[in-house]
Homo-oligomer: A and B are copies of this chain.
Amino acid sequence: MRSKDTWITVDQDEGYEVVCFMADVGQEEDFDAAKEKALKIGASKCYVEDLRREFIEQLCYPAIACNAIYENVYLLGTSLARPVIARAQIAVAQKENCFAVSHGCTGKGNDQVRFELAFYALQPSIKVLAPWRDQVFYDRFKGRNDLLDYASEKGIPVTSTKSKPWSMDENLAHCSYEAGILEDPNTTPPEDMWKLTTDPSKAPNEPEDFTITFKEGLPVKLEHSGGKKTATDSVDLFLTANAIARKHGIGRIDIVENRFIGLKSRGCYETPGLTMLRSAHVDLEGLVMDREVRALRDQFVTFAYAKILYNGLYFSPEREFLEDSITSSQKSVNGSVRCRAYKGMMTVLGRWSDTEKLYDESESSMDEIGDFAPSDTTGFISVQAIRLKKFGKAKEEAGNSLVKG
């Protein structure tokens, strides 16, 4: 969003009236200053929309409910914010009768795809201006320096400096770092890069305990400070989780990922509260979710949901289909997880559910027979073995005894 002001003037150079749109998805930003600047350099209006609640409730929460993760590691912090931003931007565009919307994403990344696919689904007739893929634009502005020169020439105040040689994207769920010195995948990120979280080595020596309660897979309560404080409102809960996680250095990752367009890319991400909420959710599912529903959900819904979110296909029939499946899968995910934050890690201390009874202590007990007949297992095993005995016998007969290893 930083460089949006620049486009305003560039677009004005082309003779267009420009309405500025900024989304508040929880990033640290001086919106008043940004607004002032936008108007000063020529925007006819400037909208700043607070999208934090819908970002949390409509995007982050479903992602938690299906344990969304991309390529085993990435919690999709950037991807999750794009749909709410795009939707609010189109709403403004419709209100202001704009014929086109714009964004400042480069021509090699995922975000251009995410914004534009969302724009087109939200308003199929919209026109999209993507300056970084416009040859006139990128011939004129070959790099950051050209832009800084232009800003200086036009009297546009900019805060971007060479001191942070990477690009960032921040929202309530996470902050990402990529490009610049991070493009060498073997360069360790400098300690002062990380913005949201304490370095684990500098995190408190005392652990902090708290309890997260879920209802139908969604976080509904976070008790902390020795049980003295409780957050139940979604934004309050999410911010509280963030505060704890940031303090204890939780949620940093550093990966090479596969972008939608087929390039590999190195990214560093910190996702404090979401990391903890997701971990607690995964844990609770162990206690209260049926094995087979979980397996189907894991293999199909979780995988597919993460992929479509990453690829910017939020406004799509398949996302609606998967979200119905998520909702259906979470009916029994009710209960609480006791957690501990300490030096970069969240560990689970225990969990319980007042309503779900799939876990049966006495039945699972190794010390009790219960009404479960151990001899039944003999039959269970014998039947499972029918197929395997045939396999072993065929191997034997072929001289490839499995015993040989």
Chain A residues close to B by CB (< 8 Å): 54, 58, 67, 71-73, 87, 90-91, 94, 106-109, 112-113, 116-117, 120-124, 130, 132-133, 135, 138, 143-144, 167, 178-180, 183-188, 200-201, 205, 207, 252, 254-259, 261-266, 282-283, 286-287, 290-300, 303-304, 307-308, 313, 315-318, 320-322, 324-325, 328-329, 332, 338, 342-345, 347-352, 356-361, 363-367, 369, 372-394, 396-397, 401-403, 405
Contact = CB atoms under 8 A, between A and B. Distances in A.
Given A113-B380, A135-B375, A201-B342, A290 B318 contact: yes
Contacts of A307: 295
Contacts of A255: 283, 286, 348
A91 B404 CA distance: 8
B403 A116 contact: no
Given A350-B185, A367-B179, A402-B122, A390 B357 contact: yes
Contacts of A106: 366, 374
Nearest to A381: B116
A382 B373 contact: yes
A297 B87 CA distance: 27
Contacts of A365: 108, 179, 183
A106 B352 CA distance: 26
A403 B256 contact: no
Contact of A361 (B183, B359, B379): B183
A34 to B, nearest CB: 22
A125 to B, nearest CB: 9
A164 to B, nearest CB: 14
Given A201-B207, A256-B351, A378-B379, A391 B316 contact: yes
A312 B196 CA distance: 44
Contact of A87 (B90, B187, B385, B403): B403
B292 A317 contact: yes
B360 A116 contact: no
Contacts of A377: 107-108, 112-113, 133, 261, 379, 383
Contacts of A180: 367
B392 A120 contact: yes
Contact of A73 (B135, B282, B351, B380): B282
A333 to B, nearest CB: 12
B405 A87 contact: yes
B183 A364 contact: yes
A383 B188 CA distance: 30
A384 to B, nearest CB: 6
A104 to B, nearest CB: 12
Most buried by B among A282, A324, A361, A374: A374
Nearest to A133: B374
B116 A290 contact: no
A108 B261 CA distance: 20
Contact of A318 (B167, B257, B292): B292
Given A256-B283, A256-B286, A263-B386, 12 more contacts: A94-B403, A109-B366, A123-B403, A186-B350, A200-B342, A261-B377, A262-B386, A290-B387, A292-B317, A343-B343, A357-B390, A378-B379
Contact of A185 (B167, B262, B265, B359): B359
A369 to B, nearest CB: 7
Given A124-B389, A379-B376, A321 B303 contact: no
B293 A318 contact: yes
Given A377-B113, A381-B116, A185 B351 contact: yes
A403 B122 contact: yes
